Amino acid sequence: MRAVSQLSAQSIGEFRKAVAISRGLEHLAPDFAMLAIALALVALAGHASAEPGLYLATLGGLSPLTAIIALLIGAAAFSSASRLGAGQLRRVFAWGAMLVLACSGMRLVGSGGMLPDPLWQEPPGPNSIMLLLLAALSLLGRRRSVIALGMGLGGLALILSLVLSYGHAAGGLHGTEPATMLIAALLLTAALCRQGHPAVLRLMISEGTTGKVLRRQLLYSLAGLWLLAVVLLHIDASAWAEAAPLFVTMLAVAAVLGIGSTIGLLAAAENARQRHLIRLEQLSATDMLTGLANRRAASAYAEATFHAARRHGRPLAILMIDLDHFKRINDRHGHKIGDEILAEAAHLFRSILRPSDMISRWGGEEFLAILPETQLAGAVKTAERLRQSLEDSLVLPGGSFVTASFGCAEMAPGDMDLDDLLGRADAALYEAKDQGRNSVAPMLPPRLQSDAASFDSAVA
């Protein structure tokens, strides 16, 4: 139960941390949106005043049309983050940006456009349109939407690819300058800040197996894709036939590493789970004070042992043990001393009984011993040995001795279930108490009462 409680507390703590991260990201969204809006406004002012430095000419420049689209998407992100207009402004600005992007796409394919010609002097390229479109679509999606999250992450992945291509002076940028990538990254980040679902974040930060697998697979996937992209950029198209085996080998190695890592983590998790299950099973069957089997475990074992002995015709005996005047011990010396007496008595009983015997705490100050392959005479001798050892070993603070009463019973041919045997042992225990306690009393089956004389001679 302690392990389960710790696990529950850990899960609750992880979820609270994920909620805090989600709220923190939402608070950052207006900042990223305002940065993008500021860059777009400055770029437009730079074009109006013919100041190249204002529209980031050193980073390739931000065209007027790209700045207008970014301004609309930034306004949508800011209104979404600040909860203005209950989402109406967000949709208006986002749809406005998508309309301008649609016109840009029509212009690229030669279908003309609905905007004034001066705005088409530096139209955005296909990759720029895709980046801004993904940002607008992510903002149009519902808050904490998986689809919107995927669009935002796709946009950031496209930016990483463009950065890699740009760094290697590769073709295919199609008008996507660093300035455009910068403002698109700000817009996509602002859009993603509203998609931080606590359940997803909890999986990513979890110390459990699932979180570790996700983080490791994400790391391997990103690293593998990045390395493969670097290799592809360095391979000449004419030499692809020679490089193909190396490419395939790298893919296979990456797959094997990923699968092997996952298998290793899952195997370790399964081993840990089995150990926890075993531990929980032990805790559910163990009395925490004495370390003996509890009543639930003892009942199951006694039931199985009873039916096995009855089926094979083997002897079986049980001892019902009750510490004498235990309530008086608790009242005079306190429950701490009482608990110590119970634990010491349990240790003493277990040290004397055979490995094949089972001793359990039946309830309160009562113990139940199950003695397979034992007849009533042997059970009485064992009980007497336990009684004498207890009286000789355990002494209370005041100097008085700890004693116990023992009831013994043997399985009889007429016993149909365990309750018959337990009932006779319990009756024998009451008889031992009536005899003045600190004694051992056997109980024969009713039809064997006539053989009591022969039994007394066997004990002697």
Count Cβ atoms below 10 Å from residue 422 Cβ, excluding itself: 20
Question: Tokens 């979404």 map to which residue?
Answer: 80
Q: Which of 14, 26, 177, 365 is catalytic?
A: 365
| C-alpha span between 193 and 30 (Å, rounded) | 9
State the CB neighbour count (10 A cutoff) for residue 349: 22
The residue to which tokens 């116990």 are assigned = 404
User: Rounded to whole angstroms, how far apart are CA atoms 294 and 425?
Assistant: 18
- Determine how many CB atoms are found less than 10 A away from the CB of residue 164: 16
- In whole angstroms, give the CA distance from residue 67 to residue 183: 9
Residue 326 and residue 405 in contact, taking contact as beta carbons nearer than 8 Å: no
Q: Which residue has tokens 């008086």?
A: 328
Q: Please tell me the distance from the alpha carbon of residue 87 to that of residue 276, in angstroms, as a whole number.
A: 48
Pairing of strands 404-410, 358-363: unpaired
Contact assessment for residue 74 and residue 36, using Cβ atoms and an 8 Å cutoff: yes
Both tokens of 340, joined, read 């110590």
State the CB neighbour count (10 A cutoff) for residue 100: 23
- Examine the residue annotation and report whether 26 is marked as an active-site residue of this protein: no
Contact 368, 359 (CB under 8 A): yes
Q: What is the DSSP letter of 460?
A: -
d(CA 223, CA 344): 61
Amino acid at 327: K
Smallest CA-to-CA distance from 69 within 100, 34, 37 is with 100
Q: What is the DSSP string of 168-181?
A: TT-S--TT--HHHH
Query: CA–CA distance from 444 to each of 140, 378, 407, 428 (Å)?
Result: 85, 14, 11, 9
| Count of beta carbons in the 10 Å neighbourhood of residue 206 | 20
- The Cα-based distances of 118 to 52, 107, 121, 269 in angstroms read 17, 13, 6, 63
375: three-class secondary structure by DSSP: coil
Phi and psi at residue 183, in whole multiples of 5°?
A: -70, -35
The catalytic residue positions are 365
